[in-house]
């Protein structure tokens, strides 16, 4: 129990004075793989929110590289201890890249949305597309999964958070998958635009 | 005139000439053979790395190169370079038996420039083979995992995007697959020309592109790589070499390469030791003739010239039998080795080895003997009336005369080892060792003269003779001591390095890796494992984190307004910014060794501890500049955790267990969001496939990678490396003993005259033998004992500074060498005494005078 208490104190001492919290629960795209923490889109988004006058919002980066939708609920349980008002659910890229069954990914995302809604946390669903090399059938199904979930759970939906970033070498690291600093700025713009009127 | 004089004298003492040539060529044969095996091993290692890359060089990117980049790339490469191009990307394969993620490898006719693909039908696919049916028809080769997982086999139809193909064969062995590249998806080989039909590669697709190059003979890879980096400035483009491709065994290959460098220097020193000693003997036997020439009016410089010419001529002639011996020995040795090692080495005499051998024989030996040669200037005509031979201890001491020898061997050492660090370290150790041996030898020789109370005259005479001829005795002492040292260095280092290649036995080697296991999935997974009667080898939690600060300083690298200045700067920044996988465990695993600091104090206690304890992998610590006592601040998914490095640990590469750069004390991260990695021990194929399918069905997010094939390949490479160490250490031992044999033999020859005098004075055969045996037993035992003892210190230093591995001290090998060297000296002394007793005294006198 003691380690848990220690972590809990550590975890939320710096955040407890913030009035409103927005958690970004995602994978390496959220974590900011390869860029500094301040350059990852959650940090850029926070700056934009503050610049637009929403200074009461703190954005928590809960991105974990390599994570799949299966981790959604357990991570929400941990990060929701900070009592956030809203969560951007940006998971699924690794499910797709690893070719997991879309039905399973959809089930895990649905469980995560249900858990968040059960905790009275507003859900914003960040949609993703698979690269064309995965084949039309798979990429279409993948895209449709997010649309179906957004409609079913009536959540705020960002169709493609990597819009204008994916596939453009100018906005990505050498691996061609992870956004660079410029790419993260665009993602922050995409999310910021979608959040207008929501927060 | 000098040349004529030199030749005439050589012809007159042709028996000595033959003796000189024979002994010198024995040592040089050892050197040439070692060099040939060294080269053959390095070629083998390089071929292995080239097979992984399947080329000499590869230009890789995650995008198409522009026309301008392609033109610049081709211009930067030497004329005659051959080019191939491959694409790799993930795609969903569909078939009537199901669909699955695969890694498509789209190749062209040149693939693979090096190495081969072995197919289940028995076909071997190489660069020049004409059996690549995937290039002629709508066909594909698939990895066998697709057979076990989807039931696909030769003859079945598959679809990749819009492209329909028929499976023509299954891949049995793929040299390009490394352990780390054992990916999530089995490979499918297709024709690059058919890619457009698939429709899979278009804007937004993620793929790897590699232009593969086969350089013309004589082209240097590193130069070509540098030229390419000069013209391809985009950091997104990588130029890969075989050295970067062999990632799994890179460190071990580096160790082996450094070890082979040391072998080359040791071989060089051994041959130089033999050559110098025999050359010294040659000069000492000629001192009387030099004195005669001096009295007849020859200048000292001219006298030196005559003997330099003579020795160089003899040295040159010695290279002929050296080459003949080597040509005879090498095929026999490689055939013998092939019968009990995993090698099919083809050692050949390289031009480089021949030139160094020639340099050593013609030039090197007299450079080593300059201190002795300059004594000609001190030679007086009175020497003619002396019965004693000229001793090295006589005349003025000129310390500068050692300088040319030092300089020559320093540069040769660096050249042989291909490393300034190893060459400098080795030369430094050798200087210290020679000084130590000189001091020990001097004390020993002087102490020998003080030994009293011996009841037999020949014992007394032996020890007195050692002390009286201190200079000559010291030279033998140092030579034998150095020989013992050189013989022992490689086997000592081998013992320590082999630990790097050993693995814990098949029961501890994983066959499957599972990752992305969630906390709540463990009960279900445990149930499946219990049902299948499988106990996992390891289960390690994985917690993602970022390092924010080290000792209060920012750790992450932020991009400046003008971007990163160099490719290296950007790489370093990306490496630092990509986050870390942390883990925790109660104690270190079998595959980890703490090399500095203290172990974890137990579970974290927030009442007593302000910070968590951290254990860092030593090479990672080196790269990042971390040391014990450093305070790191992590961001664990929004939570800041502070820790202090309390130890550095080394991870054993051949364990194949999940390992981490940073371990955090138990009790700190246990509640943090995490996933798990687990390893399953070796299972028979059917059982493995069955378990994989069951787990994949029940826990779709859990990725399972079959590593049997790649682990097997890596272990085979490790076994080869281990054998390489064994082989070279063994060859060095044999070479060393041959050199010592020739040294002792030469030294005994120098004593023939003295032994003969004893015989003339009435000593019996037994007394003559006892006299020389006592002297050599004493000298050889003490010299080899101290040489062997010093070898432990030198090996320890080399191991610490070059290999950084755990030093394994073995007393057996040094002690055995002391016994062998002493025994060898006794045997040669005994044979020489028998020879002298048998021969007529007059003939020996004639021969010696």
To the query of whether residue A50 is one of the catalytic residues in this protein, the response is: no
Interface mutation target, options A21, A79, A99, chain B, most CBs of B under 10 Å: A99
Interface mutation target, options B94, B675, B701, B703, chain A, most CBs of A under 10 Å: B701
8-state DSSP, B78? P
Contact A10/B641, CB-based, under 8 Å?
yes
**How is chain A split into domains, by residue range?**
18-195
Among the partner-chain residues B200, B548, B700, the one whose CB lies closest to the CB of A133 is B200
In angstroms, the CA B509 to CA B716 distance is 13
Helix axes B812-838, B708-750, angle to 10 degrees: 30
**Quick one: which H or E segment has residue B816?**
helix B812-838
**How is chain B split into domains, by residue range?**
1-54+251-418, 55-250, 424-505+708-849, 510-560+568-681
**Closest by Cα among A119, A50, A61, A51 to A88:** A61
B233 in contact with chain A, both atoms CB, cutoff 8 A: no
- Paired with B631 in beta bridges are B644
Chain A positions touching B637 (Cβ under 8 A) are 61-64, 75, 78-79
- Taking every pair of Cα atoms in chain B, the longest distance, rounded to a whole number of angstroms, is 105
- The ipTM is 0.84
Contact A133/B207, CB-based, under 8 Å?
yes
Least confident of A182-196, B218-232, B676-690, B713-727: B713-727
In angstroms, the CA B843 to CA B762 distance is 17
Alpha-helical (H) ranges within B382-456 are 403-417, 420-450
Contact B673/A79, CB-based, under 8 Å?
yes
In angstroms, the CA A44 to CA A58 distance is 11
A78 in contact with chain B, both atoms CB, cutoff 8 A: yes
Bridging pattern class, strands B163-174 and B631-636: unpaired
Alpha-helical (H) ranges within chain A are 2-13, 28-31, 41-51, 72-79, 93-97, 102-118, 136-153, 181-195
Q: Write out pLDDT tens, residues B340-352.
A: 666 667 788 888 8
**Closest by Cα among B7, B1, B226, B44 to B716:** B44
Phi, psi of A197 (to 5 degrees): 85, -10
Least confident of A132-141, B2-11, B433-442: B2-11
Task: Answer whether B44's CB lies under 8 Å from B345's CB.
Answer: yes
Other Cβ atoms closer than 10 A to B567? 17
Q: Please spell the DSSP secondary structure of B781-801, one letter per residue.
A: HHHHHHHHHHHHHHHHHHIII
8-state DSSP, B79? T
Chain B positions touching A34 (Cβ under 8 A) are 574, 577-578
Determine the 3-state secondary structure of B671 from DSSP. coil
Q: HSE on the CB side for B690, CA within 13 Å?
A: 11
pLDDT recorded at residue B397: 64
Report which of residues A32 and B282 the model is more confident about.
A32
Q: Write out pLDDT tens, residues A102-119.
A: 999 999 999 999 999 999
Residues 6+ apart with CB under 8 A from B306: B2, B5, B6, B9, B290, B293, B298
Catalytic residue, chosen from A28, A67, A82, A105, is: A28
Could you tell me which CATH class the domain A18-195 is placed in? alpha beta
pLDDT recorded at residue A131: 93
Percent pLDDT > 70 in chain B is: 90
Q: Write out pLDDT tens, residues B122-140.
A: 999 988 888 889 999 999 9
Task: Answer whether B181's CB lies under 8 Å from B211's CB.
Answer: no
To the query of whether residue A178 is one of the catalytic residues in this protein, the response is: yes
Among the partner-chain residues A15, A34, A138, the one whose CB lies closest to the CB of B574 is A34
A53 in contact with chain B, both atoms CB, cutoff 8 A: no
Contact A63/B637, CB-based, under 8 Å?
yes
Coarse DSSP helix, strand, coil percentages of chain A, rounded to the nearest 5 percent: 55, 15, 35
Question: Cα dihedral sign for B596, B598, B603, B605?
Answer: negative
Coarse DSSP helix, strand, coil percentages of chain B, rounded to the nearest 5 percent: 55, 15, 25
Q: Write out pLDDT tens, residues A23-63.
A: 999 999 999 998 988 999 999 999 999 999 999 999 999 99
In angstroms, the CA B22 to CA B301 distance is 28
Q: How far is CA B61 from CA A184, B65, B761, in A?
A: 21, 8, 87
Q: What is the mean pLDDT of residues B730-750?
A: 77
Q: What value does the CA radius of gyration of chain A take, rounded to a whole number of Å? A: 16
In angstroms, the CA A171 to CA A163 distance is 11
pLDDT recorded at residue B299: 76
Q: What is the mean pLDDT of residues A5-24?
A: 59
Task: Answer whether B518's CB lies under 8 Å from A66's CB.
Answer: no
**pLDDT exceeds 50 at position B849:** no
B523 in contact with chain A, both atoms CB, cutoff 8 A: no
CA dihedral B415, B416, B420, B423 (to 10 degrees): -130
């Amino acid at each position: 129990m003691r380690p848990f208490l220690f972590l809990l104190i550590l975890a939320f001492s710096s955040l407890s004075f913030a009035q409103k919290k927005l958690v970004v629960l995602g994978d390496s795209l959220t974590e900011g793989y390869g860029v500094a923490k301040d350059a990852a889109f959650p940090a850029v988004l926070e700056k934009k929110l503050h610049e637009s006058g929403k200074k009461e919002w703190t954005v928590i980066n809960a991105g974990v590289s390599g994570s799949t939708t299966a981790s959604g609920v357990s991570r929400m349980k941990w990060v929701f201890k900070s009592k956030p008002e809203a969560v951007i659910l940006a998971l699924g890229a690794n499910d797709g890249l690893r070719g997991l069954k879309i039905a399973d990914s959809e089930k895990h995302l649905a469980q995560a949305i249900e858990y968040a809604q059960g905790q009275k946390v507003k859900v914003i669903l960040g949609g993703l597309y698979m690269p064309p090399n995965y084949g039309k059938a798979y990429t279409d199904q993948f895209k449709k999964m997010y649309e179906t979930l957004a409609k079913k759970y009536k959540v705020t939906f960002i169709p493609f958070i990597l819009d204008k970033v994916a596939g453009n070498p100018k906005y990505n690291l050498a691996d061609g998958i992870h956004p660079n600093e410029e790419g993260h700025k665009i993602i922050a713009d995409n999310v910021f635009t979608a959040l207008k009127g929501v927060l | 005139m000098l040349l004529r004089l030199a030749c005439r004298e050589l012809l007159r003492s042709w028996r000595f000439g033959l003796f000189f040539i024979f002994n010198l060529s024995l040592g040089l044969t050892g050197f040439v053979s070692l060099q040939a095996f060294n080269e053959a091993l390095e070629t083998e290692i390089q071929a292995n790395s080239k097979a992984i890359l399947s080329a000499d060089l590869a230009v890789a990117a995650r995008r198409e190169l522009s026309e301008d980049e392609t033109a610049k790339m081709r211009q930067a490469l030497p004329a005659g370079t051959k080019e191939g191009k491959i694409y790799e990307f993930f795609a969903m394969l569909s078939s009537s038996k199901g669909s699955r993620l695969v890694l498509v490898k789209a190749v062209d006719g040149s693939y693979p420039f090096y190495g081969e693909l072995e197919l289940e039908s028995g076909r071997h696919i190489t660069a020049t083979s004409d059996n690549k049916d995937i290039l002629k028809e709508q066909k594909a080769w698939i990895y066998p995992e697709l057979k076990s997982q989807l039931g696909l086999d030769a003859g079945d139809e598959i679809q990749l995007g819009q492209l329909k193909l028929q499976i023509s064969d299954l891949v049995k062995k793929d040299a390009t697959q490394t352990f780390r590249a054992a990916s999530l998806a089995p490979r499918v080989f297709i024709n690059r020309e058919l890619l457009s039909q698939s429709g899979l590669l278009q804007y937004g697709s993620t793929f790897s592109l590699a232009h593969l190059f086969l350089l013309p003979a004589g082209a240097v890879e590193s130069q070509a790589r540098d030229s390419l980096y000069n013209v391809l400035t985009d950091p997104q483009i990588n130029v890969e070499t075989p050295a970067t491709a062999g990632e799994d065994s890179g460190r071990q290959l580096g160790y082996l390469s450094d070890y082979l460098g040391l072998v080359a220097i040791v071989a060089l020193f051994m041959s130089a030791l033999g050559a110098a000693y025999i050359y010294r003997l040659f000069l000492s036997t000629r001192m009387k003739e030099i004195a005669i020439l001096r009295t007849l009016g020859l200048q000292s410089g001219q006298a030196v010239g005559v003997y330099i010419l003579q020795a160089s001529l003899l040295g040159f002639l010695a290279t002929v039998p050296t080459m003949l011996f080597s040509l005879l020995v090498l095929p026999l040795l490689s055939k013998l080795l092939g019968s009990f090692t995993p090698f099919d080495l083809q050692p050949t005499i390289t031009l480089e080895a021949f030139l160094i051998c020639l340099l050593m024989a013609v030039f090197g030996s007299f450079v080593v003997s300059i201190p002795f040669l300059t004594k000609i200037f001190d030679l007086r005509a009175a020497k003619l009336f002396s019965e004693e031979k000229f001793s090295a201890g006589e005349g003025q001491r000129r310390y500068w005369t050692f300088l040319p020898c030092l300089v020559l061997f320093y540069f040769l050492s660096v050249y042989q080892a291909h490393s300034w660090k190893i060459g400098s370290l080795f030369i430094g150790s050798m200087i210290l060792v020679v000084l130590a041996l000189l001091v020990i030898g001097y004390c020993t020789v002087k102490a020998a003269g003080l030994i009293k109370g011996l009841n037999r005259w020949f014992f007394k005479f032996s020890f007195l003779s050692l002390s009286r001829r201190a200079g000559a005795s010291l030279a033998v002492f140092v030579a034998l001591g150095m020989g013992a040292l050189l013989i022992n260095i490689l086997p000592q280092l081998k013992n320590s390095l082999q630990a790097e290649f050993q693995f814990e036995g098949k029961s501890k080697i994983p066959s499957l890796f599972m990752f992305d296991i969630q906390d709540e999935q463990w009960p279900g997974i445990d149930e499946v494992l219990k049902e299948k009667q499988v106990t996992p080898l390891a289960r390690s939690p994985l917690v993602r984190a970022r390092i924010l600060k080290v000792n209060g300083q920012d750790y992450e690298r932020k991009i400046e307004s003008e971007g990163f200045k160099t490719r290296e700067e950007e790489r370093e920044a990306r490496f630092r910014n990509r986050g870390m996988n942390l883990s925790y465990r109660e104690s270190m695993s079998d595959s980890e060794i703490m090399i500095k600091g203290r172990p974890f104090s137990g579970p974290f206690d927030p009442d007593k501890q302000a910070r968590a304890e951290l254990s860092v992998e030593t090479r990672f610590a080196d790269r990042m500049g971390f040391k014990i006592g450093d305070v790191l601040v992590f961001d664990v998914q929004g939570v800041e955790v502070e820790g202090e490095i309390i130890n550095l640990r080394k991870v054993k590469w051949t364990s194949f267990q999940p390992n981490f750069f940073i371990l955090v004390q138990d009790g700190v991260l246990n509640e943090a969001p995490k996933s798990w990695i687990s390893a399953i021990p070796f299972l028979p194929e059917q059982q493995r496939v069955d378990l994989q399918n069951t787990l994949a069905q029940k826990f779709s997010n859990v990725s399972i990678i079959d590593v049997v094939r790649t682990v097997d390949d890596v272990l085979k490479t490790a076994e080869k490396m281990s054998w390489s160490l064994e082989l070279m250490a063994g060859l060095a031992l044999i070479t060393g003993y041959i050199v010592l044999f020739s040294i002792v033999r030469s030294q005994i020859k120098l004593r023939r005259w003295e032994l003969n005098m004893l015989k003339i004075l009435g000593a019996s055969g037994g007394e003559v033998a006892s006299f020389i045996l006592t002297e050599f037993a004493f000298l050889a035992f003490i010299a080899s004992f101290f040489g062997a003892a010093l070898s432990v210190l030198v090996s320890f230093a080399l191991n610490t500074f070059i290999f950084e591995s755990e030093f394994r001290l073995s007393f057996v090998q040094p002690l055995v060498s002391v016994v062998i060297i002493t025994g060898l000296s006794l045997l040669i002394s005994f044979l020489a005494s028998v020879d002298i007793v048998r021969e007529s005294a007059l003939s020996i006198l004639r021969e010696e005078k």
